[in-house]
């Protein structure tokens, strides 16, 4: 309907007297011709950004002009430059937004604390990673007559970022902060995200508080929301909290132990609820002093990570319930049931590995969790876990509440990260509207959320229904855009590292099969490479889409999804993000070795049928 590609990033090359741009974006398949007079000093082999001056038509391809020379594949940080441009990520804030941010005070003004609950003496603490700089949540737990009192305090970003302001427009355009290794594109200027809105230790901050009572078996007994002034009493890291849980002495050990106690209760409740929890390790990229990739370390989620996650889940559920009680057209975080067609395919796929997925006809979250638990300890467990994940729907933001399948919640919203996610900021505005719009009718303190089913007039909410629908589409797109950019950078960094390890032998798992070869995920790097069919030997191989196998017509050898292999890295192209592998050894699943044997007559037919095709394949 319209052209939306105005810029492209790629490698400039000279071929037959022409300068051509090879786009790095895999969705762009056409080469862009660049006028020799518009090279901007670029040399063949360099990575450049090109402005498209003429869009392609039926007779001619696109043309463009070089607007910036970014460097080459060895330039530090080039991966981020490419990902930012390929995914159209907003980076620079406009002058109006920066002016608004600069006009805000460095400290919380005294007048801003008026009319709020004073929780500065409550020993709230933050728990984040070692390299975190924006702290948007603080927690506190204590025993209660009905179980536990859990307090989750979230930075009150909505107090500073007014709806429809220049800051708000910039934040809405971004939708989310984008996190790369060693680099962040924030949703808000750093004076807010790392300064005035960050819940730093020992300083006064404005917060939106979710104050909850959790029963002894994890049931949500009561909750209320209110505006408050808080002061973080300690900045904890995951490492320090985990050390306390494993027995080390600490002055604030009692607070951590109490949080761990409610975590154990919430975890048991989660298990009874049957929520899906794919607890697979992730890789952390380790950099040297020069900014080059030095290696990779597996990162496993421990109790310190999961503790804070469970607290945030409770607050998010309460936020969804509150806006639901007032029938507000707010943004829910929606994760719908899997589609029947995908489930049927998944069941067939898992059956080949001796696994079952319950449910009739559609599985429940508990069925998914049971299947995931059955993968523990298997060599191809991570690959099969990805198959479970890919069969599910993608979570989105929308005003139509359809529940959250993965977490098994009837209603769920994002409330706990307004510094880095725009949907959370919108939920804060709805809660503020409820607090201030209905407080007088319920005869409670001004700062406390009312306990009533009464719906406010639409004009009292921050957004019209059609605006919320549009916001849902925008923020869902921004989330996918950020994920795509982060994946591009991490894949490029892995390829850059593997280029220095050509000749190394690695273990892997076949993750996909095509007529032209096998896709292998390397176990140590979670990086995919290709074993081309031409390197598998002299016999002819056919692709069976039903079993997802390459089958040797003479030997009957099957190479199929899920098989363990050992391969050698033979070639890496960082520009294309491609890794070529050579098969050293193959360990098929026992089901294939036993069920795919061929008769003597079949093998003879295979040899006779192979000759002409085998020879032509070798010639190719």
Which pLDDT score, from 0 to 100, does residue 75 have? 82
DSSP codes joined into one string, 515-575: TTEEEEEETTTTEEEEEEGGGS-SS-EEEETTTTEEEETTT--EEETT-EEEEEEEEEETT
Query: Whole-angstrom Cα distance, residue 11 to residue 588?
Result: 40
pTM check: above 0.85: yes
SS3 233: coil
Total residues found in the chain within this entry: 620
**Bridge partners for 222 per DSSP:** 213
Residues 298/283, Cβ–Cβ less than 8 Å = yes
Which pLDDT score, from 0 to 100, does residue 450 have? 62
Strands 183-185, 564-573: parallel, antiparallel or unpaired by DSSP? unpaired
Which pLDDT score, from 0 to 100, does residue 439 have? 47
SS3 38: helix
Asked, as a colleague might, if the bond just before 361 is cis with ω within 30 of 0, I would say yes
What are the C-alpha distances in Å from 265 to residues 18, 147, 318, 481?
A: 67, 10, 17, 36
Question: Which of 173, 174, 198, 169 is CA-nearest to residue 186?
Answer: 174
The number of angstroms, rounded, from the C-alpha of 262 to the middle of its chain's C-alpha atoms is 27
Helix or strand holding residue 220 (H, E): strand 220-231
If you search the block for the tokens 């020879």, which residue do you land on?
615
Q: What does pLDDT average to over the chain?
A: 90
Q: Which two tokens stand for residue 304?
A: 């310190």
Weakly modelled stretches of the chain, pLDDT under 70:
438-455, 590-620
The number of angstroms, rounded, from the C-alpha of 213 to the middle of its chain's C-alpha atoms is 31
């Amino acid at each position: 309907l319209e052209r939306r590609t105005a810029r492209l990033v790629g490698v400039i090359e000279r071929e037959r007297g022409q300068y051509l741009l090879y786009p790095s974006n895999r969705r762009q398949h056409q080469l862009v011709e660049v006028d020799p007079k518009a090279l901007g000093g670029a040399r063949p082999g360099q990575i450049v950004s090109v402005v498209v001056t003429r869009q392609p038509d039926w007779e001619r391809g696109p043309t463009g002009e070089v607007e910036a020379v970014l460097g080459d594949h060895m330039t530090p940080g080039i991966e981020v430059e490419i990902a930012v441009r390929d995914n159209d990520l907003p980076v620079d804030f406009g002058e109006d937004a920066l002016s608004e941010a600069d006009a805000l005070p460095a400290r919380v003004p005294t007048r801003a604390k008026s009319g709020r609950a004073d929780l500065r003496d409550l020993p709230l603490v933050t728990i984040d990673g070692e390299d975190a700089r924006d702290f948007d949540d603080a927690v506190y737990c204590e025993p209660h007559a009905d179980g536990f009192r859990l307090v989750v305090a979230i930075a009150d970003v909505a107090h500073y970022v007014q709806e429809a302001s220049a800051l708000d427009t910039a934040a809405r355009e971004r939708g989310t902060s984008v996190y790369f290794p060693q680099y962040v594109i924030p949703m808000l200027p750093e004076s807010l995200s790392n300064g005035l809105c960050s819940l730093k230790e020992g300083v006064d901050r404005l917060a939106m508080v979710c104050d909850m009572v959790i029963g002894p078996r994890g049931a949500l007994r009561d909750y209320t929301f209110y505006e408050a002034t808080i002061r973080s009493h300690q900045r904890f890291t995951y490492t320090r909290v985990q050390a306390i849980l494993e027995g080390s002495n600490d002055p604030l050990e009692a607070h951590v132990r109490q949080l761990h106690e409610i975590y154990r209760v919430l975890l048991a409740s989660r298990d009874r609820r049957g929520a899906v929890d794919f607890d697979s390790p992730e890789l952390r990229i380790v950099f040297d002093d020069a900014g080059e990739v030095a290696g990779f370390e597996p990162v496993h989620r421990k109790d310190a990570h999961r503790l804070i996650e469970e607290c945030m889940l409770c607050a998010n559920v309460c936020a969804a319930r509150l806006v639901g009680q007032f029938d507000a057209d707010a943004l829910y975080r929606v994760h719908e049931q899997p589609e029947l067609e995908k489930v049927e395919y998944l069941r067939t796929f898992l059956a080949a590995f001796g696994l079952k997925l319950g449910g009739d006809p559609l599985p429940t979250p508990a069925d998914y969790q049971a299947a995931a638990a059955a993968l523990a300890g298997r060599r191809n467990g991570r690959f099969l876990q990805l198959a479970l994940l890919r069969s599910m729907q993608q979570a989105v933001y929308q005003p139509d509440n359809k529940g959250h399948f993965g977490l098994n919640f009837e209603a769920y919203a994002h409330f706990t990260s307004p510094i880095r996610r725009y949907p959370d900021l919108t939920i804060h505005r709805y809660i503020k509207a409820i607090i201030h719009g209905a407080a007088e009718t319920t005869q409670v303190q001004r700062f406390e959320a009312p306990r009533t089913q009464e719906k406010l007039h639409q004009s009292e909410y921050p957004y019209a229904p059609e605006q919320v629908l549009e916001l849902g589409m925008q923020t869902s797109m921004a989330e996918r855009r950020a994920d795509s950019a982060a994946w591009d950078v991490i894949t490029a960094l892995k390829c850059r590292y593997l280029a220095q390890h050509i000749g190394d032998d690695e273990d892997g798992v076949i993750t996909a099969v095509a007529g032209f070869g096998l896709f292998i995920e390397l176990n140590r790097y979670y990086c995919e490479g290709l074993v081309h069919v031409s390197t598998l030997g002299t016999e002819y191989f056919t692709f069976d889409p039903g079993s997802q196998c390459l089958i040797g017509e003479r030997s009957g050898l099957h190479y199929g999804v899920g098989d363990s292999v050992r391969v050698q890295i033979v070639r890496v192209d960082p520009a294309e993000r491609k890794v070529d592998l050579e098969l050293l050894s193959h360990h098929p699943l026992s089901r294939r070795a036993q069920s795919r044997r061929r008769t003597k007559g079949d093998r003879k037919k295979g040899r006779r049928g192979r000759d002409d095709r085998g020879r032509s394949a070798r010639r190719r």
